[in-house]
Amino acid sequence: MAKKAPKKTFGQTLREKRIAKGYSLRKFAHEVDVSPTYLSQVEQDKVAPPTADRVRAMAEMLGENVDELTALAGRLTEDLPDIIHEAPSAVPDLLRAIRGLTPDQLRELRERAERMKGEDD
């Protein structure tokens, strides 16, 4: 049985994506308003990833999915805490119930939820 490759860290992923887009460390750091030293430390996993807002800026510059990069950084996008607080027991219960579904199953569930919301309009 083949072993799964270890998941890349936020720092490793950021460095890989930055280089693939042709950004130098200094240029990218300047564009996202951090010091090159800090960015280097993030990419080497020597410091915690930046805030969700800064991760959003990085993802947008790199043309990456904001939610995926934010999750990899161990952060939540700014809209999620409000969504959870709107239904503090129902939303966590839903998340626990869907844990383990495949990406296709999650997509189908999301589409059904969108249809349900449309029926209420």
Give percent above pLDDT 90 in the chain.
88
Q: Which fold has domain 10-72?
A: 434 Repressor (Amino-terminal Domain) (1.10.260)
Angstrom distance (rounded) from CA 11 to CA 48: 9
Structure tokens at 32: 């996202």
Q: Model confidence over 12-65: pLDDT tens digits?
A: 999 999 999 999 999 999 999 999 999 999 999 999 999 999 999 999 999 999
Break the chain down into helix, strand, coil percent, rounded to 5. 65, 0, 35
pTM above 0.95, yes or no: no
Angstrom distance (rounded) from CA 104 to CA 85: 27
Domain ranges of the chain: 10-72, 87-120
Mean pLDDT, rounded, of the chain: 93
